[in-house]
Amino acid sequence: MEQLSYAAGTIVTGVFGCVAWFWGSNLILDWIWPSRGAHAGTNILRANMVRPWLFIGPAILFLAVYLVYPVFDSIWRSLHDAGGRAWVGLDNYRWLAGDAKFRESILNNLLWLLVVPAAATFFGLLAAQVTDRIRWGNIAKSFIFMPMAISFVGAGVIWKFVYDYRGEGQEQIGLLNAIWTAFGHPPETWLTIPFGNNFFLMAVLIWIQTGFAMVILSAALRGIPEETIEAAILDGANPWQLFFRIKVPQIWGTIAVVWTTITITVLKIFDIVFVMTNGQWGTQVLANLMYDWMFRGAPDYGRGSAIALVIMALVTPIMVWNIRNARREMMG
């Protein structure tokens, strides 16, 4: 209870602090350069030059403290030893290059990168196309979309249950094993099958992200000019041609956006692996490996930071591409 009231107190202070800053600084500005009297014109001009900074200032300060500084701090740390005191140069990176777990993580991340964005976009496109054409499509859509509302942790918990294993001869409670044994196979511990288990983890993310791809792509499909489709039909195009030759080429831009968005999610993938296997049985990924080094056992901040920067380096090209796109679109 004490902690709760402390939390509430801090939060109220924070909120009031923000409000007080915005109101107060604005009042002071109006007092220094009042917008009436002899110099009203110049005063307004001057005040207007300062004013944006009053409001955007705190945001910039916060972003600097919480975005820019941490990135540089991580770089600095990745060049130091476990405790962050002694300079070790590129030793942490050299160690990474030789570490088996790191190599496994990189390979798994690449595997995720190849499979998940492609599968989620493909299924999303399929679902968008199919649901637009049938009567109860909207209901189907809302169900396919529903996993988007569930946290990755929640999804991990649910799917762990789907993959659940019990010894041979017992009733299988996990959905997958129940189906599998119904076809006469012995039950499997899906999450420990080497290499294959990665795909069982990926299925969870595909399950979540398809709804996202579907919603965005469905909007794009509906935005395709009717004339192009009619013309193709008049020319005798069959449904497949219509879809792959007429519709898909017209929404390439959106497909690329969906693909890259999911790609960024995949590079940072953490929760699902953490909850379901915690990187055991050959399923380690970079983000979870980093968490291991930073927060588990004897923390090594140098190595942890080095891994974090590898993740960042992988995300950067996609990030730059996306920011460029976004700016072009918005500045338009």
Partner 1 sequence: MVTEHGSAARARRIGRLVIYGSLIALAAFYLMPLWVMITTSLKSLDEIYGGSFIGLPRSVTFEAWSKAWSQACIGTSCTGLKPYFVNSLMMVIPAVLLSTGIGALNGYVLTKWRFKGSNLVFGLILFGCFLPFQAVLLPMAQVLGKLRLSGTIPGLVLVHTVYGICFTTLFFRNYFVTIPDELTRAAQIDGAGFFRIFFSIMVPAALPIMVVSCIWQFTQIWNDFLFGVSFTAGDSSPITVALNNIVNVTMGRKQYNVDMAAAMIAALPTLVVYVVAGRYFVRGLTAGAVKG
For the segment 183-202, give every residue that binds partner 1 (CB under 8 A): none
Contact with partner 1 (CB under 8 A) among 205, 207, 247, 284: 207
Task: List the x/- string, 124-163, binding to partner 1 by CB under 8 A.
Answer: --xx--xx-xx-----x-xxxxxxxxxxxxxxxxxxxxx-
Sign of the dihedral defined by the CA atoms of residues 307, 308, 312, 315, in that order:
positive
Within positions 10 to 29, which residues make up the interface with partner 1, using CB under 8 A? 10-11, 14-15, 18, 22-23, 26
Query: Interface residues for partner 1 in 28-47 (CB under 8 A)?
Result: 30, 35
For partner 1, the binding residues in 284-323 under the rule CB under 8 A are: 286-287, 290-291, 294-295, 301, 304-305, 307-309, 311-312, 315, 318-319, 322-323
Spacing of C-alpha 20 from chain mean position: 34
The set of residues, in sequence order, having a beta carbon less than 8 Å from that of 15 and lying 6+ positions away, is: none
122 in contact with partner 1 (CB under 8 A): no
| DSSP 8-state code for residue 186 | P
Please provide the distance, in angstroms rounded to a whole number, between the alpha carbons at the two ends of the chain.
52
Closer of 111 and 158 to partner 1 (Cβ):
158
Sequence-distant (6+) residues with CB within 8 A of 216 are 124, 254, 257, 258
Q: Which CB atom, from 85 or from 194, has the smaller least distance to partner 1?
A: 85
Site for partner 1 in 76-115 (CB under 8 A): 77
Candidates 5-13, 89-97, 98-106, 190-198; binding stretch for partner 1 (CB under 8 A): 5-13
Q: Which of 73, 83, 185, 196 forms a contact with partner 1 (CB under 8 A)?
A: 73
Contacts of partner 1 in 210-269 (CB under 8 A): 210, 212, 215-216, 219, 238-239, 257-258, 260-261, 264, 267-268
Nearer to partner 1 (CB atom), residue 3 or residue 37: 3
Give the CA count within 13 Å in the CB-facing half-sphere of 171.
1
Which DSSP letter does residue 172 get?
A: P
Q: 43 near 34, Cβ under 8 Å? A: yes
Crossing angle, helix 152-162 and helix 175-182, to 10 degrees? Answer: 30
Total number of residues that touch partner 1 (CB under 8 A): 114
Written as six digits, the tokens of 140 are 């189907």
Report the residue from 16, 42, 45, 62 that binds partner 1 according to the rule CB under 8 A. Answer: 62
CA triplet 63, 66, 68: central angle to 5 degrees?
75
